[in-house]
Amino acid sequence: MESLAISFIKYTVKLVLSPLVMSFIVCIIGALCHLKQPKKRFGAGLVGLGVVWLLLCSQFVFSNAILRPLEYAYPPITLKDEAWQNARYLYTPGCYFYDVDTVEVSQWPRCSLTRLTQTAMMARISGKPIIVSAGHFLEDVNTDYAEQAKRFTQTLTDSPVIALSIGTNTEEELSALYAFTGDQPIAVITSATHMKRLMLLAQRIGFSKLTPVPVEHLSPPAFDITLNIPSLNSIQNTERALYEYFGLLFEHLRAE
């Protein structure tokens, strides 16, 4: 389980990688520099840089461009594709769950909903068993993500669903999966932005027979180079991409 210090570092990194926060920090530093006479021009340049960066991140042409190498590192796989048909299990890692008193489908964010529903759809046409994972990492530490995911998935398919209530991050979840299955053929269903890092960690753990099934694509396969009204969605997509690139960089440095 992750220590409090590691969780704090991850939260801080994610916060700093937000284009809004990055732009705000650069603008504040620029404003402070602008107050000092010798550094007025430099300060003005920093403020301009912060504004330009935020405007750039708000354009879908930019967020799509940096998402594409992540999301299409592995090709999209449909229900009709044969690529996943030989898998022994269908596996999807944890994302998030809102333990609030509301309609069931509203308790799941987009990342969880797309992963779980795609997995259930694959199970309905194949009868293959499902494995869901992740432990007590939510805001309410008493909530077991895997058990909640199992309960939800069982409403969508009659296939058996196995809950591995272990892990607070991707590496811990994959380690728990490997301890349970060994190196068996498994179709892995996770967000397209997350797939590249997951496969890197899986190979390091010992998996060699995984079939990646990316879902929740945030960028289209092809897009036009156009300008749009500044979009908060594009800023959020950019943040997601930057976080994954930082995660990949961290894993490569850690392996050296």
**What confidence tens digit (pLDDT) does each residue in 173-203 have?**
999 999 999 999 999 999 999 999 999 999 9
The reply to whether 222 falls in a domain is no
pLDDT, position 40: 77
Percent of the chain with pLDDT over 70: 96
CA neighbor of 68 nearest in space, from 157, 154, 185, 196: 196
Q: At what angle do helices 192-205 and 232-255 cross, to 10 degrees?
A: 10
Say whether pLDDT at 8 is over 80.
no
Q: How far apart are CA 48 and CA 51, in angstroms?
A: 5
Percent of the chain with pLDDT over 90: 75
Mean pLDDT of 18-39: 87
The reply to whether 249 falls in a domain is yes
Give burial (CB, 10 Å; 0-12/13-18/19+) of 142: exposed
Same domain, 58 and 157: no
Tokens 């530490």 found at: 141
The reply to whether 225 falls in a domain is no
Same domain, 12 and 110: no
The reply to whether 239 falls in a domain is yes
Same domain, 115 and 178: yes
| Other Cβ atoms within 10 Å of 104 Cβ, number | 9
Residue 114: phi, psi to the nearest 5?
-70, -40
Report the SS3 class of residue 91: strand
The reply to whether 171 falls in a domain is yes
The reply to whether 10 falls in a domain is yes
Range of the domain at 123: 74-215
Same domain, 30 and 84: no
Same domain, 63 and 150: no
Mean pLDDT of 46-70: 96
The reply to whether 223 falls in a domain is no
Q: How confident is the model at residue 25 (pLDDT cuts 50, 70, 90)?
A: very high
Report the SS3 class of residue 93: coil
Contact predicate 90/130, CB 8 Å: yes
Same domain, 54 and 149: no
Q: Which contacts qualify for 27-30: CB closer than 8 Å, 24 or more apart?
A: 27/51
Say whether pLDDT at 1 is over 60.
no
Same domain, 82 and 200: yes
Chain centre to alpha carbon of residue 217: 10
- As a whole number of angstroms, the longest Cα–Cα distance in the chain is 72
Name the DSSP letter for residue 108: S
Q: Which two tokens stand for residue 130?
A: 């499902």
Say whether pLDDT at 242 is over 70.
yes
pLDDT, position 41: 81
Give Rg (Cα) of the chain.
21
pLDDT, position 100: 86
Same domain, 80 and 61: no
Same domain, 82 and 174: yes
User: Looking at the whole model, is its pTM more than 0.85?
Assistant: yes
The reply to whether 148 falls in a domain is yes
Q: How confident is the model at residue 5 (pLDDT cuts 50, 70, 90)?
A: low
Say whether pLDDT at 162 is over 90.
yes
Say whether pLDDT at 2 is over 70.
no
Same domain, 20 and 146: no
Domain count, the chain: 2
Mean pLDDT of 87-110: 92
84: left (phi over 0), alpha (psi -120 to 50) or beta: alpha
Same domain, 66 and 82: no
Mean pLDDT of 87-108: 92
Q: How confident is the model at residue 6 (pLDDT cuts 50, 70, 90)?
A: low
Q: Which two tokens stand for residue 70?
A: 């992540």
Q: How confident is the model at residue 124 (pLDDT cuts 50, 70, 90)?
A: very high
Mean pLDDT of 78-89: 94
Mean pLDDT of 11-29: 90
pLDDT, position 44: 86
Domain CATH code at residue 98: 3.40.50.620
Residue 36: phi, psi to the nearest 5?
-95, 125
Same domain, 92 and 211: yes
Mean pLDDT of 105-131: 96
